[in-house]
Amino acid sequence: MTRISVKVDGTTYEDDVEPRLLLVHYLRDRLGLTGTPVGCDTTNCGACTVDLDGESVKSCTVLAVQADGCAVTTIQGLATDGDWHPLQKAFHEQHALQCGFCTPGMIMAARDLLEENPHPTADEVRLGLEGNLCRCTGYQNIVNAVLAAAGNGSAHGTGSGQEKGQETSVKEAAV
């Protein structure tokens, strides 16, 4: 067992963990923070994406011991005083989900993208989310939501954001 101290969504936890324990299992099984799902378990789908010391990571591909001394933000740490994060609002308003399984990872990856590039184009959003898979094929509204949250499109899915997104989808269909 290895002793770790991790700050998760603002609360510091101290725990003895097996070195082989994955961060996502620590969050879910030890801390009960089940807002972060396990998707593919193979570093592909990005459903388990969290923020580790300011950078998006796939929490199925980080050991809990590697997060010792670090700050983790999960989807459950985004709202402040009950007010949703702008990305959460945008995903809701743009209907950017169908089953919702990929949504926590999509939002955490999009949050990282917008911190690095506050006003991305639709293509840049798609590139920034390349590590996050949606099996419901709901990418169109996800891109719209990220653009809306960035202020590049209106919250109701009209305007430049959606138009840019549609252009991209046509291009990809043609390939």
Partner 1 sequence: MIPAAFDYARPETVDEAVRTLADARGETKVLAGGQSLLPILRLRLAFPDLVVDIGRIPELRGVREDGDKLVIGAMTTHHAVIHDPLVRQYAGLLAEATAEVGDPAVRHRGTLGGSLAHADPASDLPAVVLALDGELVAAGPQGRRTIPARDFFTDYLQTALEPDELLVEVRLPKTAAADGWGFHYEKFHRVAQSWAIVGVAAMVRRDDGRITESRIGLTNMGTTPVRAEATEAALVGAAAEPDPVARAAEAAADGTHPSSDVSASPEYREHLARVLTRRAVLAAARME
Q: Which residues of this chain interact with partner 1, rule CB under 8 A?
A: 2, 18-20, 22, 25, 41-44, 46, 49, 52, 55-58, 60-63, 65-66, 109, 112-113, 128, 130-132
Of 75 and 155, nearer to partner 1 (C-beta) is: 75
Of 55 and 83, nearer to partner 1 (C-beta) is: 55
Of 29 and 83, nearer to partner 1 (C-beta) is: 29
State the minimum distance, in angstroms, from the CB of residue 49 to partner 1: 6
> CA neighbours within 13 Å on the CB side: how many for 163?
6
Backbone angles phi, psi at 159, to 5 degrees: 95, -170
C-alpha dist (Å) from residue 110 to 63, 78, 101, 140: 23, 12, 15, 14
Structure tokens at 33: 């923070």
State the minimum distance, in angstroms, from the CB of residue 45 to partner 1: 10
Of 18 and 83, nearer to partner 1 (C-beta) is: 18
> CA neighbours within 13 Å on the CB side: how many for 158?
1
